[in-house]
C-alpha cells in the first residue's frame, strides 16, 4: 500500500472507532499516532511530535487558568450576579443573561470550563424559579459554542486554525479577530433560542442533577445546632487579653459563654501564639453575655450585621466548614475530642460531634482531660481556613462528606485569591491581544502565576488539566502532518476542487462546512478540525485563494456541533441534568446549524477576502 492509502485507511478506522464510542478517545487517538509510525508513514519523532507542539501547551495552560477562576469563586460571583439579574418572571431576560454570561466566560476560559462552572448555577436557578432544566441547559451549551468564536481562547480549534494560518504563511489570527464572526454567531444563536427555543425544547427535568452547595453553610450550622449564638469578636489594642497565651485564655468568669476558638487575625487559622491586637475570639452563648464580655474585655464585634449568625461567622471568604465521618477501622476510633479542640495539625477546630444524628456534649472536656470518645460512624464538624481544609482532609482516617474545594467553588463568591486570578486573566488576555509573546508563552506565564500566587498547588494544577483533550489534540496532530507529507490532503483537496468545479471559492467553503459539520456531530470537533484543516489549506492553495477565509470558515463549522450529544463533552454534560434524549438535540440544533452555515459561507469571505 502507498503512504496515501495507509493514511486514508488510518483516518477511516479512527473515524469508525470514534463513532463506535466503545474505546476511550485517548486510546483511539494514541493508536492513530502509533499506526502512522508502524505503517512507516511518519517517523517516531513525527508521530509523537504533537505532544510538544506549542498549541497543545497553550491548551493545557488554559485549563489551569480556568480552574483558578473557579477555585477563587470568580465564576460563583458571576453566577450570583446572574441569579440577581435574572429575576423570577421574564424567561427572555433569564435566557439572555445566561447566554451572554456563558459566552463571555467561554471566550476567556474555553467551552468546557465555562459550562462546567455555570451548569450547577443554572440548575439551581431552574429549581429556585420552578423552571424545567431542559429549557435552560441546552441554550447554555449552544450559546457557549457560539461564544467560543469570540476570542482565540474560546476553543482549541481556534488555536489550531491560527497556528495553521501561520504555517501557511498568511499569519495568525488576532486574539479578538474571531469576534468579527463570533458576535453575529452569538446574536443569531440568542435570537433563534429566544424565538423558537420554547417550542423546540422539551419540558422536563433531569434524573441526575448536580449538587447545590449555595446553602451548604446554613445547612451545616443548623444541623449541628450552631445557627445562632456564635460571635466573632476582634481583640482591641486595649484588651486585657493582649499578650495572654492562647491556651490560657479562660471564660469561666462569664457564665453562659463557651470559647470555641481563637483565630489568627491575618490567616483566620487557629492561634498558636499569644493573643495580639486584631486576633478574633469565636464565642458561643447568649447575646447579652457576649455583649457584656465585649464591653468588659475591650472586644469588638467584627460585623454587627452578621453577629450571632453561625453561617456567616464560620463560613466566609477566609475560612470554611467541613463535615467528616469516622469510617470503620479508622485510626481515630477511641480518640477523645471536644468542641473547641484544635486538631493535632494545629490548623483545624472541632466545632461539634454527632452520633446517630444527635449532638454529643462533652462537658468541661478541656479542663478535666475527658472528652468524646470517637466511634465508627460519628460525624465531626471542622472549621479552619480553606487551605487547611484542602490539605488536612486528605486523610484515610476520615471520610469527607462534601469536598471543601467543590463547596468553595460554588458557595464562596470572590473568595481568597479572586483579585489575583482576575489580574492574571487580564494579563494573559493583554499578552494574547497584543501579540508581545506567543500564545503558549502567555498561557504558561498565566498558569505559572496561578500556582506561584498560591491560588492552586502544583498537584491541583495537574488535576485541573483536561488530559483527555490534551492527549487527543497531541496524538491527532501528526495526522495532519501525515496528510500533508504524503500528499493525501492535496489529493482530497483536488477532488473537492473538481467537485465544486467552476462554482468558485464560495462553493469550496460550503463543501468544507458540510464535511466538517457532518464529522463534527459524530467525533470530537477538535479531531475533525485536525483532519479538515490541511484539506482546506491545500484546496485554497490549489484554487489560488487565501487560506484565511477557509480556515475561519472551518473554525465556524467546527463550532456548529449541535445535532448530537456525543458531538462535544459539554453536549453530553447537560444530557443527564437536562433530561434530554438523543433526538432532542437536532430539533434546536438544526436551525442553529443553518445559521452557522450562512455565516461561514457568506459572511466570512466578506471579512477575510479570498
- Collapsed DSSP state (helix, strand, coil) of residue 207: coil
Contacts of residue 364, Cβ cutoff 8 Å, sequence gap at least 6: none
Task: Decide which of 120 and 565 is more confident.
Answer: 565
Residues 8, 11: Cα–Cα separation, whole Å: 5
pLDDT digits (tens, 9 = 90+) for 495-515: 777 777 667 888 889 988 988
- Residue 450: phi, psi to the nearest 5? -60, -40
What sign does the CA torsion over 385, 391, 394, 398 have?
Answer: negative
Given this model, what pLDDT does residue 564 score? 80
What is the four-CA torsion angle of 55, 57, 63, 67, rounded to 10 degrees?
A: -140
Given this model, what pLDDT does residue 223 score? 83
Reference 208, options 117, 119, 111; nearest CA is 119
Q: Are strands 319-325 and 399-400 parallel, antiparallel or unpaired?
A: antiparallel
Percent of the chain with pLDDT over 90: 26
Q: What mean pLDDT comes out for the span 133-162?
A: 91
Given this model, what pLDDT does residue 365 score? 44
- Collapsed DSSP state (helix, strand, coil) of residue 402: coil
- Collapsed DSSP state (helix, strand, coil) of residue 94: helix
Place 364 in a pLDDT band, splitting at 50, 70 and 90: very low
pLDDT digits (tens, 9 = 90+) for 294-308: 998 999 986 544 455
Q: In what order do the strands lie in the sheet with 348-355?
A: 358-359, 348-355, 379-385, 319-325, 399-400
- Collapsed DSSP state (helix, strand, coil) of residue 9: helix
Measured CA to CA in angstroms, residue 437 lies from 427, 434, 443, 444 at distances of: 12, 8, 10, 11
Reference 440, options 47, 111, 52, 164; nearest CA is 52
Q: Which residues pair with 344 in a beta bridge?
A: none
Residues 305, 170: Cα–Cα separation, whole Å: 61
pLDDT digits (tens, 9 = 90+) for 379-407: 999 988 888 888 888 888 999 998 887 78
Give the gyration radius of the chain's Cα atoms: 29
Given this model, what pLDDT does residue 181 score? 95
The separation between the first and the last C-alpha atoms of the chain, rounded to the nearest angstrom, is: 37
DSSP string, 458-483: HHHHHHHS-HHHHHHHHHHHHHHHHH
Give the range with max mean pLDDT: 88-92, 167-171, 466-470, 505-509.
Answer: 505-509
Contacts of residue 119, Cβ cutoff 8 Å, sequence gap at least 6: 137, 140, 210, 573, 574, 577
Cut 0.85: pTM above it: no
Angle, helices 91-109/134-147, rounded to nearest 10 degrees: 40
Reference 428, options 116, 173, 107; nearest CA is 107
The architecture (CATH level 2) of 216-314 comes to 2-Layer Sandwich (3.30)
Q: Cβ(455)–Cβ(408) under 8 Å?
A: no
pLDDT at 209 exceeding the cut of 60: no
Residues 169, 27: Cα–Cα separation, whole Å: 33
Q: What mean pLDDT comes out for the span 407-425?
A: 83
- Determine the distance from the C-alpha atom of residue 387 to the mean position of all C-alpha atoms in its chain, rounded to a whole number: 19
Task: Decide which of 154 and 499 is more confident.
Answer: 154
Given this model, what pLDDT does residue 573 score? 74
Given this model, what pLDDT does residue 435 score? 73
Residues carrying CATH 3.30.70.1450, the chain: 216-314, 319-403
Residues 139, 141: Cα–Cα separation, whole Å: 6
Place 309 in a pLDDT band, splitting at 50, 70 and 90: low
Reference 460, options 476, 474, 447, 441; nearest CA is 447
pLDDT at 603 exceeding the cut of 90: yes
Q: What mean pLDDT comes out for the span 545-573?
A: 86
Q: Cβ(18)–Cβ(527) under 8 Å?
A: yes
Helix (H) or strand (E) holding 350: strand 348-355
Give the angle subtended at the CA of 207 by the CAs of 202 and 210, to the nearest 5°: 105
Residues 483, 587: Cα–Cα separation, whole Å: 35
Q: Cβ(425)–Cβ(108) under 8 Å?
A: yes
Q: What mean pLDDT comes out for the span 317-338?
A: 89
Range with lowest mean pLDDT among 88-92, 127-131, 307-311, 460-464: 307-311
Q: What mean pLDDT comes out for the span 9-16?
A: 86
Q: What mean pLDDT comes out for the span 54-80?
A: 81
Q: Cβ(349)–Cβ(343) under 8 Å?
A: yes
pLDDT at 366 exceeding the cut of 50: no
pLDDT at 89 exceeding the cut of 50: yes
pLDDT at 227 exceeding the cut of 80: no
Q: Cβ(580)–Cβ(574) under 8 Å?
A: yes
Q: Cβ(512)–Cβ(553) under 8 Å?
A: yes
Per DSSP, 505 falls in state H
Contacts of residue 249, Cβ cutoff 8 Å, sequence gap at least 6: 241, 259, 262, 275, 281
C-alpha cell of 20?
463506535
Q: Cβ(326)–Cβ(319) under 8 Å?
A: no
Q: What mean pLDDT comes out for the span 330-346?
A: 85
Residues 80, 102: Cα–Cα separation, whole Å: 13
pLDDT digits (tens, 9 = 90+) for 516-531: 888 877 667 787 888 8
Give the angle subtended at the CA of 190 by the CAs of 185 and 193, to the nearest 5°: 120
Percent of the chain with pLDDT over 70: 92
Residues 442, 448: Cα–Cα separation, whole Å: 10
Q: Which residues pair with 257 in a beta bridge?
A: 285
Q: Are strands 358-359 and 348-355 parallel, antiparallel or unpaired?
A: antiparallel
Given this model, what pLDDT does residue 485 score? 84
pLDDT at 549 exceeding the cut of 90: yes
Q: Are strands 280-285 and 257-263 parallel, antiparallel or unpaired?
A: antiparallel
Q: Cβ(148)–Cβ(106) under 8 Å?
A: yes
Q: Cβ(134)–Cβ(578) under 8 Å?
A: yes
pLDDT digits (tens, 9 = 90+) for 478-487: 887 887 788 8
Measured CA to CA in angstroms, residue 318 lies from 209, 310, 312, 523 at distances of: 29, 15, 11, 44
Place 36 in a pLDDT band, splitting at 50, 70 and 90: very high
Place 314 in a pLDDT band, splitting at 50, 70 and 90: confident
Given this model, what pLDDT does residue 66 score? 79
State whether CATH 3.30.70.1450 applies to domain 319-403.
yes
pLDDT at 88 exceeding the cut of 70: no
Query: What is the average pLDDT score of the chain?
Result: 84
Helix (H) or strand (E) holding 198: helix 179-200
Amino acid at each position: 500500500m502507498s503512504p496515501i492509502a495507509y493514511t486514508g485507511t488510518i483516518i477511516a478506522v479512527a473515524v469508525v472507532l470514534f463513532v463506535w464510542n466503545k474505546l476511550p478517545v485517548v486510546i483511539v487517538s494514541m493508536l492513530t499516532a502509533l499506526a502512522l509510525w508502524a505503517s512507516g508513514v511518519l517517523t517516531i519523532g513525527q508521530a509523537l511530535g504533537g505532544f510538544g507542539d506549542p498549541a497543545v501547551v497553550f491548551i493545557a495552560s488554559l485549563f489551569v487558568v480556568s480552574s483558578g477562576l473557579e477555585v477563587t469563586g470568580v465564576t460563583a460571583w458571576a453566577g450570583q450576579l446572574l441569579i440577581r439579574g435574572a429575576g423570577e418572571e421574564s424567561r427572555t431576560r433569564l435566557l439572555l443573561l445566561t447566554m451572554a454570561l456563558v459566552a463571555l466566560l467561554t471566550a476567556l476560559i474555553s467551552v468546557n470550563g465555562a459550562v462546567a462552572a455555570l451548569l450547577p448555577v443554572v440548575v439551581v436557578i431552574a429549581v429556585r424559579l420552578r423552571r424545567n432544566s431542559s429549557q435552560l441547559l441546552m441554550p447554555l451549551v449552544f450559546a457557549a459554542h457560539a461564544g467560543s468564536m469570540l476570542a482565540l481562547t474560546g476553543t482549541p480549534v481556534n488555536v489550531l486554525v491560527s497556528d495553521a494560518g501561520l504555517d501557511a504563511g498568511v499569519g495568525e489570527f488576532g486574539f479578538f479577530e474571531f469576534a468579527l464572526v463570533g458576535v453575529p454567531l452569538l446574536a443569531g444563536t440568542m435570537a433563534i433560542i429566544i424565538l423558537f427555543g420554547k417550542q423546540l425544547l422539551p419540558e422536563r427535568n433531569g434524573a441526575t442533577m448536580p449538587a447545590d452547595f449555595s446553602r451548604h453553610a446554613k445547612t451545616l450550622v443548623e444541623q449541628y445546632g450552631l445557627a445562632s449564638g456564635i460571635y466573632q469578636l476582634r481583640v482591641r489594642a486595649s484588651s486585657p487579653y493582649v499578650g495572654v497565651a492562647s491556651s490560657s485564655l479562660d471564660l469561666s468568669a462569664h457564665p453562659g459563654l463557651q470559647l470555641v476558638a481563637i483565630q489568627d487575625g491575618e490567616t483566620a487559622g487557629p492561634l498558636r501564639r499569644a493573643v495580639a491586637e486584631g486576633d478574633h475570639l469565636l464565642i458561643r452563648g447568649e447575646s447579652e453575655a457576649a455583649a457584656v464580655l465585649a464591653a468588659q474585655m475591650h472586644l469588638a464585634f467584627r460585623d454587627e450585621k452578621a453577629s450571632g449568625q453561625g453561617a456567616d461567622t464560620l463560613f466566609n471568604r477566609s475560612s470554611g466548614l467541613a463535615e467528616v465521618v469516622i469510617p470503620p477501622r479508622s485510626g481515630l476510633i477511641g480518640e477523645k475530642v471536644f468542641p473547641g479542640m484544635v486538631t493535632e495539625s494545629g490548623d483545624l477546630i472541632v466545632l461539634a460531634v454527632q452520633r446517630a444524628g444527635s449532638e454529643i456534649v462533652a462537658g468541661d472536656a478541656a479542663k478535666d482531660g475527658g472528652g468524646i470518645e470517637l466511634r465508627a460512624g460519628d460525624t465531626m464538624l471542622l472549621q479552619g481556613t480553606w487551605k487547611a481544609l484542602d490539605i488536612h482532609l486528605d486523610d484515610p482516617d476520615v471520610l469527607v462528606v462534601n469536598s471543601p474545594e467543590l463547596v468553595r467553588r460554588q458557595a464562596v463568591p470572590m473568595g481568597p485569591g479572586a483579585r489575583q486570578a482576575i489580574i492574571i486573566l487580564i494579563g494573559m488576555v493583554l499578552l494574547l491581544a497584543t501579540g508581545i509573546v506567543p500564545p503558549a508563552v502567555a498561557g504558561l506565564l498565566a498558569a505559572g502565576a496561578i500556582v506561584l500566587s498560591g491560588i492552586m498547588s502544583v498537584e491541583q494544577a495537574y488535576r485541573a488539566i483536561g488530559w483527555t483533550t490534551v492527549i487527543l489534540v497531541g496524538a491527532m496532530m501528526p495526522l495532519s502532518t501525515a496528510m500533508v507529507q504524503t500528499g493525501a490532503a492535496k489529493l482530497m483537496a483536488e477532488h473537492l476542487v473538481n467537485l465544486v468545479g467552476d462554482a468558485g471559492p464560495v462553493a469550496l467553503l460550503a463543501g468544507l462546512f458540510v464535511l466538517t459539520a457532518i464529522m463534527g456531530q459524530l467525533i470530537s470537533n477538535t479531531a475533525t478540525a485536525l483532519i479538515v484543516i490541511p484539506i482546506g489549506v491545500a484546496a485554497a492553495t490549489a484554487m489560488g485563494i487565501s487560506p484565511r477565509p477557509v480556515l475561519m470558515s472551518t473554525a465556524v463549522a467546527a463550532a456548529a456541533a449541535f445535532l448530537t450529544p456525543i458531538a462535544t463533552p459539554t453536549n453530553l454534560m447537560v444530557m443527564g441534568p437536562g433530561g434530554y434524549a438523543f433526538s432532542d438535540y437536532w430539533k434546536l440544533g438544526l436551525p442553529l446549524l443553518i445559521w452557522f452555515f450562512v455565516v461561514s459561507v457568506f459572511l466570512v469571505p466578506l471579512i477575510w477576502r479570498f
